[in-house]
Structure 1
Amino acid sequence: MRNKLNVLFIEDDEIEVMKLNRTLKTSDLKHSIREAQNGEIALEILKSNERLPEIILLDLNMPKMNGIEFLRILKNDETLKYIPVVILTTSNNRNDVLECYKVGIAGYIIKPLKYDDYVIKLKAVLEYWSLNELIKL
């Protein structure tokens, strides 16, 4: 049975946000998406008394606080460290990949140039996590 996911999408590029929302709408995926334009805003959302996300989709290249800085803060928090984080980025830099896995990510997806490839990857990620047993925080 698939679970409806509460997803936090941390992305500063409005086109990427529109692309994710379009993918969900056209794929008939009924997950709940909360958006944050950078890591600082995401931390404010996570520290509020609202329901925590079951998964975080995180871009690496953002203003104010990059994705790796955000990830380090998240994984050092006793409550938030259990939320799975999937990197969704254009960076195929080996050092970024290694550092993210070292800090504790659940996956690393490079954004493809073609929209159809993006849809396939995003659907696969969300399908997997909607079937997974997740910790309810």
Structure 2
Amino acid sequence: MNLSKSCAPLSTFTIFVCAILCTSFVVAGGQSMNLSNASTQGTASTSMSLTLDSSAQTEGYVAAVEFDGSLCDVTDISAASATTGAGAELFISEIFDDGFTIGCVVDASAPFEGNTIAPGSGLALAGIEITPTALV
């Protein structure tokens, strides 16, 4: 089962990036978030990754994802290597029947030490575990 086609077609699997906070402003818009494709057979669960491509330091991010809840369930969301490696002080996720949200602030409480996610490509922000609920 190809989740990118059945669970959440690319046109439906919309990421609304509410905020990517950077320590410097990039005129050319050097940040983008991506949600990986995944496939599975039957009703076996699979994992997807939320990644970041950034040309500047990142202090936090918010993502909201919508999908067809009649075809799959999100069962777990966890912080991935770029988030944990930066020592993120606040990582919150919420799972809904037809989507999920993720919010992260890297340096959330005093003393503010300037912790950030370093610039890079394909930086793993979060892992999302998905289980199909219907065969398509």
Q: Same fold (TM over 0.5)?
A: no
Higher percent of residues as helix: 1
Rg larger in structure:
2
TM-score by length of 2: 0.28
User: Structure 1 length normalisation: TM-score?
Assistant: 0.28
